[in-house]
Structure 1
Amino acid sequence: MIPKTYSATLGGRELTLETGKLAKLVSGAVTVRYGDAVLLVTAQAREDVSPLDFLPLTVEFEERHYAVGRIPGSFHRREGRPGERAILSARITDRQIRPLFPKGYRHETQVIITVLSADAQVGADVLGPIGASAALSLSDVPWAGPTACVRVGFVGGEYVVNPTYDQLDASSLDLVVAGTRDAILMVEAGAQVVEEELLVGAIEFAHREMQPIIDLIEQMQREVGREKFNYVADADLAVDLVPELTEAARSGGLRDALLTPKKKDRSVALKALRDRLIGERVPEGTEDADARTGAFKTAFGRVEKQELRRLILEEDVRADGRNSRTVRPIWIETHALPRPHGSAIFTRGETQVLGTTTLGTERDEILIDDLTDDKNDRFMLHYNFPPYSTGEVKRMSGQSRREVGHGNLAKRAIRAVLPSFEEFPYVIRIVGDVLESNGSSSMATVCAGTLSLMDAGVPIKAPVAGVAMGLVMEGDRYRVLTDILGLEDALGDMDFKVCGTAEGVTALQMDIKIQGITPAIMREALAQAKEARLHILGKMAEVLPAPRAELSPTAPRIITVKINPEKIGSVIGPGGKQIRELEAMGAQVTIEEDGTVRIFSADGAAAQAVRERIEAITREAKVGEEFDGTVVKTAAFGAFINLFPGKDGMLHISQMSEERVNAVEDVMNVGDKVRVKIANVDDRGKIDLIRPELEGKIAPREPRAPRPSGDRPPRRDR
């Protein structure tokens, strides 16, 4: 195949897609270039059908450190498991392409995005989905694209498509939107408390801006795309059983079973009904009993889904008895644990999260080893989803991609209200442990995490709450659901999570299971989410209306001291000796280049002692100050007197007495205490002393002349 290149303009920069040059043995391969960013994206499907009963799609986002001219920092000096940013980038692509695979498609499919060159100002996370769309469109894999993906910022009152990192720093919005020609598929955003209408405008702007990309991929598909293979869909033995089972289930009590309030009780009731109906229709011992039982189970699942959706659309009744706009009952407990710096339990219906906050020093910053310029992060939020939270037994094998994604969403929601490091010089870690889960556990983590921050005494700008919205849509009929259950997430058409304060949105994430929704539905969902968010914030305020006035008693204290940057070496000492002695007093000490010293200790008295020691070490002498000094050395011309730790002054022999002094030792010796006053401090910090009781009685000594510039004094001619 002859390499072919296609280009379009996006955000004032050229976007180039090339195929036929690299990775020619794979079904679909596209190279994406935007600025200095270059990505290779491939798509491939297996010929044989997978035995799995779900879409076997995997998306990998591979970062190569050579892309930024760097050797990996790991022990083996090679790339290891994907970092958090790579996982989040892979999830963006996955959530964009997954809804467009045909129903019943079971061929294992893999999309691999490899970053070959990284641009210091352009994010690769929104280029991967473009490459995936192009690679799938060109491949023989059945897929209903193309799609496109863009990032939108809001700078200076205007929307900006694919902003640079510098522009994002000044933006109140970081929004990623993916869509097809006619609809929105996926939205993810972090924001600095923005109004809902601004978000809807940004989404509409993004949808317009992505159209040239879709045009470009459609052109590529027409010119060099492969013919799609005929996939083998699941054998659907259940389809003919649905009408019969629908009538029998409705007359047998399906409505009552579906409207059982508790999750476990509902599952028991539905299983009992299903088993009874199957038992009446599949005699034991028949040759095809297993196959027929499986088909009836599948058919019953479809009947259950249809009936639940009918109840929601026609009667506005949900599985737990609520209508579409009602939030589940909420109870909250703060300061739930004695030792963590802040803790809170947030329970909404049958979803419960324990949130904890831990405060640390700059030494606790998390190091980041990816393709960005960021090297550390002073705010962490970790989300844990153990199997017991859903009453299951599963192997626990480290953090899942889902946990990374949910934790990142909660982190973006809360970061917008944190105080600056200058205001509150702590590294902050929040952990959200999901104890019960029946929908919206990530949003409960936002609420529990916010409450734990407030319980710890962190001066956040405003409380943040989150709620998950759902959607049931049949043709032109639809209903937006507030605070969805796990069942409504599984059987519904949308999972739309919205977080924010009373004033506006700080984060959102939307996943669609149908082929997109319109801005009108998005606008309605945001308005309904705001109503629910204000209700939840009200419940939180009843328990803890504001951050506690004082830090938790178990939280360590930080004392900040500003010193002359030239004194940093004195605090550190030769080979770090001085700072080790300071930390041996019971505190951690960090020093910045501008002379900011932070003393961190759980013992307030120890922190104060270290502060006094540092102030003594870095103290600067001022003309006119008096001291009871100690003679530490004598010379023919005078005596050196220690004024305070690390600082000596010189008392000239002419300033020791009204009478002529022949030898310093006639007046004072090493170890003597002498009252002295600072008469002069020269440009090198050298101190001249006088005796205050002789001031005015003897002629003052002329200040020493400034030393000529340069490393050595000028040579004398011999």
Structure 2
Amino acid sequence: MFDTKTVSLEWGGKTLTLETGRIARQADGAVLATYGETVVLCAVTAARTVKEGQDFFPLTVHYQEKFSSAGRIPGGFFKRERGATEKETLTSRLIDRPVRPLFPEGFYNEINVIAQVFSYDGECEPDVLAMIAASAALTISGVPFMGPIGACRVGFKDGEYILNPKQTTALADDGRLDLIVAATQDAVMMVESEAKELTEEEMLGAVIFAHDECRKVVGAIVELAEQAAKDAWDLDPVADKTAVLEDLRGVIGDDLAAAYKLTNKAQRQDAVNAARAKAREHYADLAESDTAEYLGKLKLVKKLESDIVRKAVLKDGTRIDGRKVDEVRPIEAMVGFLPRAHGSALFTRGETQAICSTTLGTKDAEQMIDGLEGLSYERFMLHYNFPPYSVGEVGRFGAPSRRDTGHGKLAWRALKAVLPSHEDFPYTIRVLSDITESNGSSSMATVCGGCLSMMDAGVPIERPVSGIAMGLILEGDDFTVLSDILGDEDHLGDMDFKVAGTEAGITSLQMDIKVAGITREIMEKALEQAKAGRAHILGEMNKALSGSRSGVSKHAPRIETIQIDKAKIRDVIGTGGKVIREIVAETGAKVDIDDEGVIKISSSNSDEIEAAKKWILGIVEEAEVGKIYNGKVVNIVDFGAFVNFMGGKDGLVHVSEMKDERVEKPTDVVSEGQEVKVKVLEIDQRGKVRLSMRVVDQETGEELEDTRPPRENKPRGERGDRGDRGGDRRGGRGGNRNGPRRDRGDRGGEGSGNAEAHVPDFLKD
């Protein structure tokens, strides 16, 4: 029934298997990829005809994680997979970015790529496997795909590169890198990474290591294609458009050359639009007689623009705005831009501008993520918004696009490496970047502005982070790397190469290209040039703020952390949470306690924090014999008074320990609610505490000299000489239990006549 073809590869200590012919046989190409016990199915379908008027390549990639693949049921009300999560969106982009450039120019058939995770073993990550499955499915589908590509994840620890580490542990346990690379047999196509200040040499080495591993996967896909690939589509031959392009150059070439010398973006766009209008007018006669030819000629305007800009850069290093190839646009940065934000910055670089704000919150503000591995919590968030007015356009405004999500995640990766530990800074951090102007690399403006806003908020980052976007003009063997590219240089160039990092090293690297790959020489040049650009931008940022502020904003909540013995957690929480609720209600502070005994007390009022802290410490602190405490009388009995002197702890001040002289009734000395100063005399094995007021100056709290003779320890049979509670309904319990009542002592504590006669039995047993 099935004509199954399978290829296997021993790769990174596990077996990678690619299978086709058994599942999704009606798709143009379908591959079931297995690595370890993680299984991903990718199916590719393509339209046989092009929609009328289509003038772009409509490639759509969908990646979906099934909760059943990890033996889980989705959380929430609906209990089924719904809209794409952030991870699914980012993985869809990971697949799209390296395969899109590998389709021929002018191919406008709609293609749909769907990758679904059906099994996840908790160790082999499905995102890289989905990239491999998509490449294999496209390769065998027959569509004009100039692949295949391979993909892998690389870690870096103790000077060694690690193939396909688990994503959640790639940067844990002293790991310094989480890198994903996609590459063809000959060149690298895409790079995405998060790093802990790697040098340029270490990062380049990781990319080269990844490329070598990708080649192994490419070989396996080629082997599968040799067995199962469908016939390649017949494509119409591409017409030679050289003559038409030269004709168009004669009409508007000078106009476009002049337009791309204007440094102001708005003026440049107006001039380019005027040249396009001139071209439409020149070919107006064709609009009625041969619409297809008319539209074909107008499409070449973009090609002519690219040709003019690229030749100017390669020939004499002239850029659109007149800068040198390694020159960064003017930068203006300021902090404290928003008065009520916990931290804020306005970062402007040329015609790109971002308002970044940082908000600090408590633990309950952490983001809860429901993924294949279960619930997890993220304390650092960065959200990027790109409204249409930032580029002077009318457009959709609302929910974030895939692009917004991707740009925000890139900036998140760049800044996460320098964050303090949760123990050192127990806040939830949210950075918000609103792009108000855009002309190239708004994601790197987000890195710079986000870093400044966090420092303004008092987040003690290790070192400031800056970011820069590099471009590439490549014609044959000639190439030029551009620093801090404009939007037009991005659109008309061959590479978008973003690098972020501190003065110590790289924290994030992202690369997208529009050609069939770049060489090691180009990457080395781009990294070297980016390092100089980052250093320049850091210098400009330092003019606004060179380091984190010493404290958080007055508008931010204060958080104080204390560590208690885990055995005391139940005492702080109380039965059914009674104690901790009372603390919160009485003090006004928020109290969070974890299973390790770490307690975080938060409030915008320091007095509330101090009150809650004092209460908790009183609960968990052990009383110390000989120490003087402030207390409050909570109950008066015939033989003394009970005093709450430390959190929830009470002790007894016997009537004989209230004053040096004889006291007939405790109420003659104290009253309920009265604040007194007491000294701990004794703590018995059962935790009962004996207190004294008479040896403490009730005004100053200083200890007084005890003029009474020390207590004598007598055998239990001589209790008649000790006296004790005395004042019970039977007239006292002192003395030998079998002796006459007249020997038992009384309320006055006659007994043997010394002060110790007033200590109750429950403290003596």
TM-score normalised per structure 2? 0.86
Instruction: Report the counterpart of residue 212 of structure 2 in structure 1.
Output: 208
Q: 1:231 to 1:370 in 2, by over 3 A?
A: farther
Amino acid at match of 2:228: V
Amino acid at match of 2:532: E
Instruction: Report the counterpart of residue 406 of structure 2 in structure 1.
Output: 405
1:503 aligns with 2:504: yes
Instruction: Report the counterpart of residue 172 of structure 1 in structure 2.
Output: 176
Q: 1:634 to 1:61 in 2, by over 3 A?
A: same
Decide whether the 8 Å contact of 1:184 with 1:516 is kept in 2.
yes
Q: 1:657 to 1:407 in 2, by over 3 A?
A: closer
Partners of 1:417 and 1:672 in 2: CA distance? 52
CA displacement at 1:183 relative to structure 2: 0.6
Which one is further off, 501-510 or 293-302?
Answer: 293-302
CA displacement at 1:650 relative to structure 2: 4.3
Decide whether the 8 Å contact of 1:469 with 1:483 is kept in 2.
yes
> Identity over the aligned pairs, expressed in percent?
45
Alignment partner for residue 251 of structure 2, among 248, 253, 261? Answer: 248
Q: 1:675 to 1:560 in 2, by over 3 A?
A: closer
Partners of 1:59 and 1:8 in 2: CA distance? 26
Instruction: Report the counterpart of residue 699 of structure 1 in structure 2.
Output: 712
Decide whether the 8 Å contact of 1:282 with 1:289 is kept in 2.
no
Instruction: Report the counterpart of residue 759 of structure 2 in structure 1.
Output: none
Count of residue pairs brought into register by the alignment: 699
Instruction: Report the counterpart of residue 526 of structure 1 in structure 2.
Output: 527
Partners of 1:109 and 1:219 in 2: CA distance? 24
For residues 364-375 of structure 1, the aligned pairs below 5 Å read 364-372=365-373, 375=376
Decide whether the 8 Å contact of 1:278 with 1:296 is kept in 2.
no
CA displacement at 1:351 relative to structure 2: 0.6
CA displacement at 1:240 relative to structure 2: 4.5
Decide whether the 8 Å contact of 2:638 with 2:666 is kept in 1.
no
Amino acid at match of 2:418: V
Partners of 2:22 and 2:13 in 1: CA distance? 26
CA displacement at 1:652 relative to structure 2: 7.1
SS of match in other structure, 1:79: coil
Partners of 2:685 and 2:111 in 1: CA distance? 73
Alignment partner for residue 277 of structure 2, among 272, 275, 278? Answer: 275
Q: 1:347 to 1:145 in 2, by over 3 A?
A: same
SS of match in other structure, 2:49: strand
Instruction: Report the counterpart of residue 709 of structure 1 in structure 2.
Output: none
Partners of 2:600 and 2:519 in 1: CA distance? 52
Instruction: Report the counterpart of residue 611 of structure 2 in structure 1.
Output: 609
Decide whether the 8 Å contact of 2:64 with 2:116 is kept in 1.
yes
Q: 1:272 to 1:621 in 2, by over 3 A?
A: same
Q: CA RMSD in A?
A: 2.8
Partners of 2:632 and 2:470 in 1: CA distance? 75
CA displacement at 1:513 relative to structure 2: 0.6
Partners of 1:666 and 1:587 in 2: CA distance? 36
Amino acid at match of 1:190: E
Partners of 1:88 and 1:701 in 2: CA distance? 80
Partners of 1:702 and 1:572 in 2: CA distance? 42
Q: 1:370 to 1:50 in 2, by over 3 A?
A: farther
Which one is further off, 624-633 or 60-69?
Answer: 624-633
Amino acid at match of 2:625: V
CA displacement at 1:682 relative to structure 2: 4.5
Partners of 2:164 and 2:367 in 1: CA distance? 27
Q: 1:243 to 1:683 in 2, by over 3 A?
A: farther
Q: 1:206 to 1:666 in 2, by over 3 A?
A: closer
Decide whether the 8 Å contact of 1:49 with 1:232 is kept in 2.
no
Partners of 2:41 and 2:601 in 1: CA distance? 48
Decide whether the 8 Å contact of 2:636 with 2:667 is kept in 1.
no
Decide whether the 8 Å contact of 1:329 with 1:349 is kept in 2.
yes
Task: Describe the superposition over 1:525-577 as per-residue Cα deviations: whole angstroms up to 9, x where unpaired.
Answer: 00011111111111111221111223223222112233333333343344334
Structure exhibiting the larger radius of gyration computed from Cα positions: 2
Decide whether the 8 Å contact of 2:170 with 2:177 is kept in 1.
no
Task: Describe the superposition over 1:183-228 as per-residue Cα deviations: whole angstroms up to 9, x where unpaired.
Answer: 1000111110010011111111111112221111111101111112
Q: 1:659 to 1:424 in 2, by over 3 A?
A: closer
For residues 73-222 of structure 1, the aligned pairs below 5 Å read 73-164=75-166, 165-166=168-169, 168-169=171-172, 170-222=174-226
Decide whether the 8 Å contact of 1:639 with 1:664 is kept in 2.
no
For residues 554-565 of structure 1, the aligned pairs below 5 Å read 554-565=555-566
Decide whether the 8 Å contact of 2:193 with 2:509 is kept in 1.
yes
Decide whether the 8 Å contact of 2:615 with 2:647 is kept in 1.
no
Partners of 1:372 and 1:312 in 2: CA distance? 49
Amino acid at match of 1:359: L
CA displacement at 1:23 relative to structure 2: 1.8
Instruction: Report the counterpart of residue 342 of structure 1 in structure 2.
Output: 343
SS of match in other structure, 1:50: coil
Partners of 2:239 and 2:682 in 1: CA distance? 97
Instruction: Report the counterpart of residue 448 of structure 2 in structure 1.
Output: 447
Instruction: Report the counterpart of residue 716 of structure 1 in structure 2.
Output: none
Which one is further off, 261-270 or 666-675?
Answer: 666-675
Decide whether the 8 Å contact of 1:177 with 1:203 is kept in 2.
yes
Amino acid at match of 2:711: I
Which one is further off, 607-616 or 18-27?
Answer: 607-616
Decide whether the 8 Å contact of 1:617 with 1:645 is kept in 2.
yes
Amino acid at match of 2:226: R
Instruction: Report the counterpart of residue 318 of structure 2 in structure 1.
Output: 317
Amino acid at match of 1:75: F
Amino acid at match of 2:508: A
Partners of 1:141 and 1:369 in 2: CA distance? 36
Instruction: Report the counterpart of residue 328 of structure 1 in structure 2.
Output: 329
Q: Which runs of 5+ in 1 are unaligned?
A: 704-718
CA displacement at 1:82 relative to structure 2: 1.4
CA displacement at 1:630 relative to structure 2: 5.7
CA displacement at 1:672 relative to structure 2: 9.3
Partners of 2:715 and 2:601 in 1: CA distance? 42
SS of match in other structure, 2:231: coil
Q: 1:637 to 1:446 in 2, by over 3 A?
A: same
Instruction: Report the counterpart of residue 710 of structure 1 in structure 2.
Output: none
Q: 1:96 to 1:695 in 2, by over 3 A?
A: farther
CA displacement at 1:675 relative to structure 2: 6.6
Decide whether the 8 Å contact of 2:361 with 2:429 is kept in 1.
yes
Which one is further off, 517-526 or 689-698?
Answer: 689-698
Partners of 2:679 and 2:356 in 1: CA distance? 58
Partners of 2:358 and 2:506 in 1: CA distance? 23
SS of match in other structure, 2:136: helix
Decide whether the 8 Å contact of 1:282 with 1:292 is kept in 2.
no
CA displacement at 1:666 relative to structure 2: 11
Q: 1:126 to 1:649 in 2, by over 3 A?
A: same
SS of match in other structure, 2:622: coil
Partners of 2:495 and 2:160 in 1: CA distance? 29
Task: Describe the superposition over 1:406-447 as per-residue Cα deviations: whole angstroms up to 9, x where unpaired.
Answer: 101000000111111111111110011000111100000000
Decide whether the 8 Å contact of 2:640 with 2:666 is kept in 1.
no
Instruction: Report the counterpart of residue 494 of structure 2 in structure 1.
Output: 493
Amino acid at match of 1:55: F
Which one is further off, 186-195 or 274-283?
Answer: 274-283
Decide whether the 8 Å contact of 2:448 with 2:465 is kept in 1.
yes
Partners of 2:650 and 2:438 in 1: CA distance? 68
CA displacement at 1:277 relative to structure 2: 4.2
Partners of 2:518 and 2:106 in 1: CA distance? 22
Task: Describe the superposition over 1:464-497 as per-residue Cα deviations: whole angstroms up to 9, x where unpaired.
Answer: 1111111111111111111111111111111110
Amino acid at match of 1:176: I
CA displacement at 1:614 relative to structure 2: 2.8
